[in-house]
Amino acid sequence: MTAVLQISGLGKTYQSGHTALSHVDLTINKGEIFALLGPNGAGKTTLISIVCGIVTPTAGLVSVAGHDHAREYRAARSLIGLVPQELHTDAFETVLATVSFSRGLFGKPRDPAFIEKLLRDLSLWDKRDAKIMELSGGMKRRVMIAKALSHEPEILFLDEPTAGVDVELRRDMWQMVHGLRERGVTIILTTHYIEEAEEMADRVGVISKGELILVEEKHALIKKLGRKTLTLNLAEPLSSIPPALADWKLELAGDGHELVYEFDSQAEATGVPSLLRRMSDIGVGFKDLHTKQSSLEDIFVGLVHRDNNAAATGEAA
């Protein structure tokens, strides 16, 4: 595997004194999809902005396909496409004009056939002569993506691509990302949604308080964090858990109206079907049920907590 992006010792302290990033080392391999997860203000956007040349780092080096991103900025930036989180668009330009503009800005010769294909792929071709301000939020997001892809970048940054996006566009976006990967484009995306990382990424990095606290293969991460809870709303309240259900680690909640079962969703046998069968055998009925994946928020709290504990232990020693 060849590295297409190498970040070493990257740090950013803003003039206000706020440290957004401290000593981040990260290597992205060519052709992979990398998801950067983190709560708001963790430094995801700062990291992306530095690589793209929008924010100047206070420490560290970034190398894009072997080109130092400060000294050889032309070579480095030509390879990168960026879809920022916010919908920054011109109001009065037409879709076709703004996408063609982006291609020119990156020094690429005109290629109407390519632009047409790009717009068709993103379902924007019918809207090519519409002014951007006439478009819906989802359509504007598509325009931003078209602009980022207009110069055929080898690395694509998607900053919160599906924040506030409807289901259809989200699915389209995932499809597009997979299509790009097949063509060898490296994709780095930031997200709040664990399902999104699950659906798309090969590797996942977790960033918290400006530090990259974990970089892991997706499957390993999901295995580690993929806890789920099943909640059953019982037909009749129970005062205690029946001995017949002792094999499952169950808890009673809601004054005996709810039975809660925590399980590993990735395991061969989750224990859910057998639990339901046993309940029916012994005549414990339920009105409703729902399962809940441990949210990314929970995971962050866990990870950051662990991080802090480790630091405290280190200090004590």
Partner 1 sequence: MISNLRGIRAIYQFEMARFGRTFWTSLMLPVITTALYFVVFGSAIGGRMSEVGGVPYGAFIVPGLMMLTMFTESISNASFGIYMPKWTGTIYEMLSAPLSPLETVIAYVGAAATKSVIIGAIIFATAHLFVDVQVAHPLLMVGFMLLMAVTFCLFGFIIGIWAQSFEQLQVIPLLVVYPLTFLGGAFYSLDMLPATWRTVTLFNPVVYLISGFRWTFFGQGDVAIEVSMGAVALFFALCLGIIFWMFRTGYRLKS
- Which parts of this chain interact with partner 1 (CB under 8 A)? 14-15, 52-56, 73-78, 80, 82, 84, 86, 88-93, 97, 101-109, 147
Please state the closest distance from residue 274 (CB atom) to partner 1, in A. 54
- Both tokens assigned to 28: 């992205």
Please state the closest distance from residue 68 (CB atom) to partner 1, in A. 14
- Contact of 123 with 142, CB cutoff 8 Å: yes
Q: Is the Cβ of residue 41 or residue 104 nearer to partner 1 in the bound state?
A: 104
Q: Is the Cβ of residue 90 or residue 298 nearer to partner 1 in the bound state?
A: 90
Residue 212 φ/ψ region, left for φ over 0, alpha for ψ in the -120 to 50 degree band, beta for the rest? beta
Q: In sequence order, what DSSP letters do the residues of 77-131 get, joined into one string?
A: HHTEEEE-SS----SSSBHHHHHHHHHHHTTPPP-HHHHHHHHHHTT-GGGTTSB
Please state the closest distance from residue 67 (CB atom) to partner 1, in A. 11
Q: Amino acid letter at 316?
A: A
Nearest Cα residue to 204 out of 187, 221, 192, 227: 221
- Both tokens assigned to 112: 């109407």
Q: Is the Cβ of residue 78 or residue 162 nearer to partner 1 in the bound state?
A: 78
Please state the closest distance from residue 48 (CB atom) to partner 1, in A. 10
Task: List Cα–Cα distances, 258 to 2, 243, 261, in angstroms.
Answer: 52, 17, 10
Please state the closest distance from residue 17 (CB atom) to partner 1, in A. 13
Q: Is the Cβ of residue 108 or residue 223 nearer to partner 1 in the bound state?
A: 108
Q: Give the helix ranges, DSSP H, for 150-271.
A: 167-182, 194-200, 218-225
Q: Is the Cβ of residue 98 or residue 208 nearer to partner 1 in the bound state?
A: 98
Please state the closest distance from residue 51 (CB atom) to partner 1, in A. 9
- Contact of 6 with 63, CB cutoff 8 Å: yes
Q: Is the Cβ of residue 82 or residue 299 nearer to partner 1 in the bound state?
A: 82
